[in-house]
Amino acid sequence: MTHISNRYKKRPPIVILLAGLPGTGKSTLARKLSRRYRLEHISTDSIRKRIFRDVRRDHFGRGSYSNRQRMVVYDTIYYVLYTLLKHGVGCVLDGTFYQDRMRAKVSRICDRFNAKFLLVIVTCPEETIRKRFEEREKRERRTLSDADSKVYEKFKQLFEPTKLRHLDVDMGTDHETILKMINDAIYERKS
């Protein structure tokens, strides 16, 4: 076995998990973070549409959005994360991650590969979220997310608080301020 000097060791990969209710702006933030830190962007919406090609708007808990299908999506996310980290590639995970056990599983996978893990709980004023859903309904072109106000209300009931170390961000705040908060948390700088 060859000894590699500390000078040539790679930095551990970064994994940023953006968890929160639908419509809070997780995907917008994920795109900015993936560009800024050159990380892969993995979203539950994208995975769902790749696995279930016939995804359509279903009532919450049925069809493409049944609990069983949801677990297939999250299991795929864990597999993709594991594979990326195995190859030293970091990512931004973007999804509701409404149960704390889902977030904890991401943390455990990161620990296994000594990756830098940051959990960000994303919120947004409800008025802004409702406006986003109204605008989404009016658009001809669909977004990756099929969430609407009904889905938001269901996840609001299901969303569990976390016991994990995390950063809370409100997407109603200036985005540059949010990006600075996240950068400081990644590199553990105190403001």
pLDDT digits (tens, 9 = 90+) for 64-80: 467 788 899 999 999 99
Specify the pLDDT at position 191.
Answer: 45
Number of domains, the chain: 1
With CA atoms as reference, report the closest residue to 186 among 132, 124, 116, 136.
Answer: 116
Query: pLDDT tens, 28-62?
Result: 999 999 999 999 999 998 888 888 766 555 444 44
With CA atoms as reference, report the closest residue to 14 among 191, 179, 183.
Answer: 183
- Residue 182's contacts (CB-CB under 8 Å, 6 or more residues apart) are 16, 33, 118, 120, 167, 169
Please indicate, yes or no, if residue 161 is contained in any of the structural domains.
yes
What phi, psi does 121 have (nearest 5°)?
A: -90, 115
CATH number of 57's domain: 3.40.50.300
Please indicate, yes or no, if residue 1 is contained in any of the structural domains.
no
Section 94-115 average pLDDT: 96
Specify the pLDDT at position 144.
Answer: 53
Burial per residue of 71-84, b for 16 or more beta-carbon CB atoms within 10 angstroms, e otherwise: eebbebbeeebeeb
Q: Where are the alpha helices (DSSP H) in 7-148?
A: 26-37, 44-51, 67-86, 100-112, 126-138
Radius of gyration of the chain (CA): 17
Residue whose structure tokens are 């400081």: 184
Specify the pLDDT at position 139.
Answer: 61
Task: Give the domain extent around 22.
Answer: 10-186
Three-class SS state of 191: coil
Number of Cβ within a 10 Å radius of residue 123: 16
Specify the pLDDT at position 106.
Answer: 98
Residue 181 belongs to what H/E stretch? helix 175-186
Specify the pLDDT at position 140.
Answer: 56
Supply 170's token pair.
């409100």
Specify the pLDDT at position 127.
Answer: 85
